[in-house]
Amino acid sequence: MSEALLTTVARGDRLELAAAGAWTVDCASDLETLVDAAVAQAKSVKSVAINMANVERLDTFGAWLLERLVRDFSTDGRGIDVVGLPPRYNDLVHEAQQSNRKQPEAPSEDIVDTAAMLLRRAGRMFLRDITLTVQLFGQLVMAILRIARNPRTFRFTSMVHHLDRVGWRAVPIVLLITFLIGCIIAQQSLFHFRKFGADVYVVDMVGILVLREIGVLIVAVMIAGRSGSSYTAELGSMKMREEIDALQTMGLDPVEVLILPRILALVIALPALSFLGSMAALYGGGMVCWLYGGMSPEIFLSRLQEAISLDHFEVGISKAPFMALIIGIIASVEGLAVKGSAESLGLQTTASVVKSIFLVIVLDGIFAMFFAAIGK
């Protein structure tokens, strides 16, 4: 860019500007500096003329900067003459003259959040969550009642499909992780119990902990992360593309068509996965006792038989369907809360996983108190 885009010559009260070269997007940044400098220089003059004859090319960036120049000069009633504008640019300059006419309202001040406001907002969100969760639970019950009256409307294929996804396909990873957890529990207990010469109680520790708590808890947390998140993402993107609205206008209930099969699949899959997971964890515990603790499998098994009863197993597995229900409902509520943007899809998916893991743990605590109270 050798030639000057804008040169200014002062003649007494009059300022003469000469534009040249390409007033286009590539020079827009330089051009803006020149235009602003010219405006600053022209504070004292009475009239201004700008000669556009030597402009080779003009695009919307150039046309707008010309318009800005004209507006800035003419604010206090001074005249500005634009001369020599090649006629082929008339339309473009005309477009620029029409634009930016209305001053944008100043954006509303960012209010600094006070602690009280934050608390109030958190409270509102919490109430909203509770309402939506209870509401969805109600809709689920209604859907089940409707289906009980007319079983042929149940989406059996859809449920089997989801059962395959959240149940069958989750088996390998669930087995692997619970196996490792079983190994770790056994190793840690062996290591510490040995100091008291209480090696044999390792089997009690592993058996009771795995069957009552860890088996179901670990699996529920994994399923919340694995399947809850995908439920939220699926429902959310359907919501985004108005697919759910489309269902509704066809007289179908989204809860019955989309949500019920998903949640039922979870409610069936989670106890089964918990059972498999618990077995894998016991297996892992047994392996470590044998290889690391030198306890033969026969001793481990007979000790296990003494240490645990059916009660422990029942306590553990009876929690699974409730946890599945919580995961499924939270995932669906968050999925339906997705707004139009990709960002909101991400936010709700995160919220779904965080909330359902949190609630799974809270629920586990409540169950622990309940079973302690009834002495199981």
Partner 1 sequence: MAAPAQAPNQPIIRVKDVEVVLNDRKILNKLTLDVKRGEVLGFVGGSGQGKTVLMRTIIGLLPKVSGIIEVFGVDLDKASEQERHAVERRWGVLFQQGALFSSLTCIQNVQFPMREYLNLSPRLMDEIAIAKLEMVGLKADVRDKYPAELSGGMIKRVALARALALDPEIVFLDEPTSGLDPIGAGDFDELIRTLQQTLGLTVYMVTHDLDSLHAICDRIAVLSDGKVIVEGNMDVMLACDHPWVKEYFRGKRSRAAGMAHHRANDLVAS
The enclosing H or E element of 130 equals: helix 115-149
Rule CB under 8 A: say whether 95 interacts with partner 1. yes
Residue in 44, 77, 102, 298 binding partner 1, rule: CB under 8 A: 102
Please name which of 271, 312, 293 lies closest in space to residue 197, comparing C-alpha atoms: 293
Residue in 5, 15, 50, 61 binding partner 1, rule: CB under 8 A: 61
Instruction: Compute the distance between CA of residue 70 and CA of residue 294 in angstroms, rounded to an integer.
Output: 92
Rule CB under 8 A: say whether 82 interacts with partner 1. no
Are 82 and 48 spatial neighbours (Cβ–Cβ below 8 Å)? no
Rule CB under 8 A: say whether 89 interacts with partner 1. yes
Nearer to partner 1, 16 or 36 (CB): 36
Minimal distance, residue 249 CB to partner 1, in Å: 17
Rule CB under 8 A: say whether 99 interacts with partner 1. yes
Chain-centroid distance, C-alpha 317: 30
Instruction: Determine how β-strand 6-11 pairs with β-strand 14-23.
Output: antiparallel
Instruction: Compute the distance between CA of residue 4 and CA of residue 19 in angstroms, rounded to an integer.
Output: 8
Instruction: Compute the distance between CA of residue 352 and CA of residue 57 in angstroms, rounded to an integer.
Output: 55
Instruction: Compute the distance between CA of residue 234 and CA of residue 345 in angstroms, rounded to an integer.
Output: 10
Rule CB under 8 A: say whether 245 interacts with partner 1. no
Three-state SS at 250: coil
Question: Per-residue x/- marks for partner 1, 264-303, CB under 8 A?
Answer: ----------------------------------------
Residue in 160, 342, 362, 366 binding partner 1, rule: CB under 8 A: 342
Per rule CB under 8 A, count of chain residues that contact partner 1: 31
Write out the residues near partner 1 by the rule CB under 8 A: 24-26, 28-29, 32, 59-61, 64-65, 68, 88-89, 91-92, 95-96, 98-100, 102, 104, 107, 240, 339-344
